[in-house]
């Protein structure tokens, strides 16, 4: 599925496009009569919305990627939760309102979101670790030259090529780094 883009109509007081007002308006106006809006949350540029199917009472989540271009165009792309989107930062306040399902991908996605939310408050959460902390990580998927199941040593640090860059995990012994969101809380701290 592609992106939908149109001229923005919702702006903040500072003159920037309001992502949350644009997508909320689009979702509410675009719902078929058989569905109703329950709750929503914006995390970064990703919009999570709980929607109720009126006939069955089933509540499910839809994920919308949003973006702007030239502070004139607003764009979005919708992804249903059963497609197991890569965006796994759905807040618990939305997840708590969803009805149980037997769909494997949906449950895996919901579990990944819950795991991410737990990692934010964990004492070993990435944000609480000091610069230079090291950890072991067994990668749950293949990427770059690394195979699924490989155990890597990570070191927390900044990207060297950017001023004031955010902290990332550097893969020790390799010229690669990974975003903290990619690792989640699936690591074991081995040095601080």
CA 150 to chain centre: 24
Per the rule left: phi > 0, alpha: psi between -120 and 50, beta: everything else, 25 is: alpha
Predicted local distance difference test score (pLDDT) of residue 122:
64
Note whether 155 and 113 are same-domain residues.
Answer: no
Instruction: Report if pTM > 0.85.
Output: no
Note whether 113 and 136 are same-domain residues.
Answer: no
Last residue of a domain, one of 78, 97, 121: 121
Q: Which of 43-47, 79-83, 125-129 shows the lowest mean pLDDT across its residues?
A: 125-129
In this model, does residue 123 exceed pLDDT 90?
A: no
Structural domain that includes position 164: 126-191
Note whether 9 and 80 are same-domain residues.
Answer: yes
Give the Cα separation of 105 and 78 in Å (integer): 17
Give pLDDT tens digits for 43-79: 999 999 999 999 999 999 999 999 999 999 999 999 9
Predicted local distance difference test score (pLDDT) of residue 2:
87
Give the Cα separation of 114 and 6 in Å (integer): 33
Which helix H or strand E contains 152, and what residues bound it? strand 151-158
Note whether 175 and 82 are same-domain residues.
Answer: no
């Amino acid at each position: 599925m592609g992106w939908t883009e149109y001229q923005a109509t919702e702006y903040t007081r500072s003159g920037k496009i309001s992502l949350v007002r644009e997508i909320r308006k689009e979702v509410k106006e675009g719902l078929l009569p058989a569905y109703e809006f329950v709750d929503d949350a914006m995390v970064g540029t990703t919009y999570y919305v709980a929607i109720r199917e009126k006939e069955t009472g089933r509540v499910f989540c839809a994920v919308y990627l949003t973006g702007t271009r030239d502070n004139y165009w607003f764009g979005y792309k919708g992804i249903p939760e059963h497609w197991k989107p890569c965006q796994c930062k759905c807040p618990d306040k939305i997840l708590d309102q969803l009805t149980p399902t037997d769909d494997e991908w949906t449950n895996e996605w919901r579990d990944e979101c819950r795991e991410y939310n737990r990692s934010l408050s964990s004492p070993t959460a990435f944000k609480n670790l000091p610069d230079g902390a090291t950890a072991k990580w067994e990668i749950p998927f293949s990427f770059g030259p690394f195979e699924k199941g490989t155990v890597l040593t990570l070191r927390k640090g900044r990207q060297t090529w950017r001023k004031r860059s955010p902290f990332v995990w550097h893969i020790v012994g390799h010229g690669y780094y990974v975003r903290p969101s990619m690792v989640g809380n699936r690591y074991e701290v081995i040095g601080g």
